[in-house]
Structure 1
């Protein structure tokens, strides 16, 4: 689990001067309430926790801890109200944030395509935690996603409907017989249930999508890499969700089930199968409008 950055602030400070992905500003209204607004410059929602360590003559419905979702743009995330009219007020707070909507839920039980070209024969295996690779026995058993290996480079596709939330595609990996490098190309997709899919070991400059773009299962994202790795051409995939734990936000990896020619499978051990992209999975999360457009385009 990854603990997220936390910013400690006094109410008298100018938050806009801090370099952060999410910033907070405040406004007083005519009732002397203090409204807190999150400014989110990204294409996807973020979760925000405000911790009020001091409240003088002020209250908030959530008490000293408020969790809210900051949608793209500017969103009101909390309100402090004076307890007694005409009295002085002050407050101190910290805030932390994480990508994704901690409250989001899936409308359907999601299915995941294996994120490579249909018909590809893949060898799938659980990834080994980096700490375990360098000898830390305590790291063994930690879930860090799946690797899909194949005989030759393939197109990488979206496993689920979502928005392109982040990417890095300019790393040129040098060397041979590699197992891991510090900087790898990746594309990250945000799903409507608040979860993410991150795909790594991609060919530099091969991206076919842009940040903020809506993609559907089977849409081409990029080309695979890994030819100079010890395991040959492959990609890695991990799914994470943002959860609240002990008044902090963390990213938590979790396993998913993949569609295959052998039925739905959860990768628990080394397995070989052929990739299929069923139409019902492609259409599963489409809205009525998206479904109509898709069917008319066939």
Structure 2
């Protein structure tokens, strides 16, 4: 079984590698203060192509804290005062918490004439028993297999700059991936893609069946496979949600 479960023997550092590496610099959502004449403004900046929810904690807010949703690729004034903006803390989560999934059917996220086996489905005891992977699937694939969009949407994140994979904890945050936002506010994660194979970039519109990248074993992985999940923001936590696949012949099934 190929998957991304943390192994019991964390010192086992088997891995695979290729020669290529590329650096990708991406700005993150942030909160900052600025001056506008005699007024001071607390601003949230969202550079992503998807909504972001912020939680701000400050003694200057009425209840000591507040949540704000900032639309894609925009800034939002959160608080204005003639007084200097005092200390504040914040955290953020990708996605609008009001997103509501309506039972959409998803194409199998692989473009291939061959049969490919789902090695782990929903609630899999091997590595799909905890948030945010309870409703995720692992599909074993030969390296270089085309990964395709399971649903129409807009590309929000692309990372395909890492060249290695293995079972050492060093690889936990190294996986390459493509993430696609859907019209209902949910988003799909296509993880462990091969370095340098992404065919899309943030902001691109894609249709179901469009090739996004090729399969690999980047990051924390025991072998080449695609990790696929549909996720949303719930209470500033990322959760996966159940979904169904639909075959080319119209047959629906739960992985």
TM-score (norm 2): 0.69
How many pairs were matched up? 221
In the superposition, relative to structure 1, how do residues 46 and 123 fare at CA in structure 2: closer, same or farther (>3 Å)? same
| Deviation (angstroms), 1:262 | 6.7
- The offset of 1:115, in angstroms, is 0.7
Write the deviation string for residues 7-58 of structure 1: whole angstroms up to 9, x where unpaired: xxxxxxxxxxxx953223255688x7x6432122223221111223x24xxx
- Measured after TM superposition, the shift of residue 195 of structure 1 is 2.1
- Residue 179 (structure 2) aligned to one of 167, 173, 188: 188
- Does the Cα contact within 8 Å between 2:154 and 2:206 map onto a contact in 1? yes
On the 8 A contact 1:179/1:231 being kept in 2, the answer is no
Q: What is aligned with 1:141?
A: 129
- Structure 1 unaligned residues grouped into runs of 5+: 1-18, 83-87, 134-138, 268-298
- 1:64 is matched with 64
161-170 or 181-190, larger mean C-alpha shift: 181-190
1:24 counterpart residue number: 32
Contact 1:121 1:150 in 2 (8 A): no
Q: CA RMSD in A?
A: 3.8
Q: Give ranges in structure 2 of 5+ residues lacking alignment.
A: 1-26
Q: Which runs of 4+ in 1 moved over 6 A?
A: none
Is 1:47 the counterpart of 2:60? The answer is no
Distance 1:80 1:169, change over 3 A: closer
Structure 1 position 159, deviation (Å): 1.0
Q: State how far apart, in whole Å, the 2-side matches of 1:151 and 1:37 are.
A: 46
Task: State how far apart, in whole Å, the 2-side matches of 1:39 and 1:179 are.
Answer: 35
Aligned to 1:166: 157
**Which structure has the bigger radius of gyration?**
1
Whose RCO is larger (CA < 8 A, sep 6+)? Answer: 2
Report the structure, 1 or 2, having the larger helix content.
1
**Contact 2:137 2:227 (8 Å CA) reproduced:** yes
Provide TM-score, normalisation by structure 1. 0.60
Kindly tell me: are residues 186 and 90 of structure 1, through their superposed partners in 2, closer, same or farther at Cα, counting changes over 3 Å? closer
Contact 2:118/2:137, CA 8 A, preserved across alignment: yes
Aligned pairs (5 A) from 1:1-298: 21-27=29-35, 35-52=41-58, 54-55=59-60, 60=62, 63-71=63-71, 72-76=73-77, 78-79=78-79, 92-106=87-101, 109-117=103-111, 119-126=113-120, 141-142=129-130, 143=134, 145-150=136-141, 153-173=144-164, 182=172, 183-226=174-217, 234-244=225-235, 249-260=236-247, 261=249, 263-267=251-255
Q: Please give the alpha-carbon distance, in whole angstroms, between the structure 1 residues aligned to 2:208 and 2:128.
A: 32
Following the alignment from structure 1 to structure 2, what is the Cα–Cα distance between the partners of residues 29 and 239? 45
Instruction: Give the whole-Å Cα distance in 1 for the aligned partners of 2:136 and 2:100.
Output: 21
Do the aligned partners of 1:199 and 1:236 also contact (CA within 8 Å) in 2? yes
